[in-house]
């Protein structure tokens, strides 16, 4: 029988924190560097990952993308994973911004399919508060996973470390709230404005310098 894929979500209840773009970058790097079959399930009704993917594929019709992307409503993810999960080594779930945090919300339920969650955080007071609310959802997920005796790891990282002071304050606050923070972070990266599904971010000088340390920590923490 096919092996279960590793299911990971880079998520936060907030929008605009880099969930989709970091997912694409990490997914392509893993596919290329580790020769793994990687899928992104785009569960955001705005389908930003799918849109970027399709635009690129249209642009370079003769090339083969490093990853696959599939748009799927949150309600259908469970069935999809049961049926097709075994075809992949790693599946990323890109989730939409959450407006309704009730535990029965299908978006929240997506997290229960994950073996690992990485929470991007922008260093500001507002983001720290929103992330702390999100951590309550993750706590429930952790409890469920423990009851089911399923593996589950959760970490956070600071995205776009630029305003040093607020980043450090946010990081300290979240650590105190129980979120294990990555020792690496991501700065404001030029390569992130044009994510490609044909090229690993590590194929660029900026990617090697500023993305690779984060990528390596990602692979260590999520055992890839």
- Report the C-alpha gap between 169 and 154 in whole angstroms: 20
138 touches which of Mg ion, ligand ADP, none (CB within 5 to 8 A by kind)? none
122 touches which of Mg ion, ligand ADP, none (CB within 5 to 8 A by kind)? none
31 touches which of Mg ion, ligand ADP, none (CB within 5 to 8 A by kind)? none
152 or 192: CB nearest ligand ADP: 192
11 or 145: CB nearest ligand ADP: 11
Residues 164-193 interacting with ligand ADP (rule: CB under 6 A): 186, 188-189, 192-193
Q: Shortest distance, CB of residue 74 to ligand ADP, whole angstroms?
A: 15
15 or 213: CB nearest Mg ion: 15
Residue 47 as a binder of ligand ADP (CB under 6 A): the answer is no
Residues 153-212 interacting with Mg ion (rule: CB under 5 A): none
145 or 158: CB nearest Mg ion: 158
160 touches which of Mg ion, ligand ADP, none (CB within 5 to 8 A by kind)? ligand ADP
CA distance to 97, 128, 132, 206, per residue, from 170 (Å): 20, 6, 10, 26
Residue 17 as a binder of ligand ADP (CB under 6 A): the answer is yes
From 10-18, 67-75, 85-93, 174-182, give the range in contact with ligand ADP by CB under 6 A.
Answer: 10-18
188 touches which of Mg ion, ligand ADP, none (CB within 5 to 8 A by kind)? ligand ADP
The angle subtended at Cα 103 by Cα 5 and Cα 19, nearest 5°, is 50
Q: Which position among 9, 12, 13, 20 is part of the footprint of Mg ion (CB under 5 A)? A: 20
Q: What is the DSSP string of the chain?
A: -PPPPEEEEE--SSSSSSHHHHHHHHHHHHHHHS---EEEEE--TT-HHHHHHHHHHHH-TTSPPSSEEEE--GGGHHHHHHHHGGG-SEEEEEPPPPS---TT-HHHHHHTT-SEEEEEEESSHHHHHHHHHHHHHHHHHHHHHHHTT---EEEEEEES--SHHHHHHHHHHHHHTT-EE-S--B---GGGGS--SSS-GGGSHHHHHHTHHHHHHHHHHTT-
Residue 9 as a binder of Mg ion (CB under 5 A): the answer is no
- Report the C-alpha gap between 102 and 108 in whole angstroms: 8
Q: Which position among 33, 36, 37, 48 is part of the footprint of ligand ADP (CB under 6 A)? A: 48
Could you list the residues that contact ligand ADP (CB under 6 A)? Answer: 15-21, 48, 159-160, 186, 188-189, 192-193
């Amino acid at each position: 029988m096919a092996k279960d894929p590793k299911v990971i979500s880079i998520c936060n209840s907030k929008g605009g924190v880099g969930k989709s773009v970091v997912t694409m970058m990490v997914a392509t790097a893993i596919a290329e560097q580790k020769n793994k079959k990687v899928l992104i399930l785009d569960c955001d009704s705005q389908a930003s990952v799918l849109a970027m993917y399709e635009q690129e594929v249209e642009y370079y019709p003769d090339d083969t993308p490093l990853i696959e992307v599939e748009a799927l409503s949150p309600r259908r993810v469970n069935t999809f994973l049961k049926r097709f999960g075994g075809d992949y080594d790693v599946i990323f779930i890109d989730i939409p911004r959450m407006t309704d945090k009730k535990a029965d919300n299908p978006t929240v339920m997506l997290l229960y399919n994950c073996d690992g969650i990485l929470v991007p955080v922008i260093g500001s007071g507002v983001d720290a508060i929103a992330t702390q609310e999100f951590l309550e959802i993750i706590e429930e997920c952790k409890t469920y996973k423990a009851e089911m005796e399923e593996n589950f790891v959760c970490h956070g990282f600071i995205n776009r470390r630029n305003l040093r002071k607020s980043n450090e304050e946010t990081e300290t606050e979240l650590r105190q709230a129980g979120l294990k923070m990555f020792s690496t972070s991501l700065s404001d990266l030029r390569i992130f404005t044009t994510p490609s599904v044909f090229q690993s971010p590590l194929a660029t000088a900026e990617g090697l310098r500023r993305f690779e340390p984060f990528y390596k920590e990602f692979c260590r923490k999520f055992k890839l």
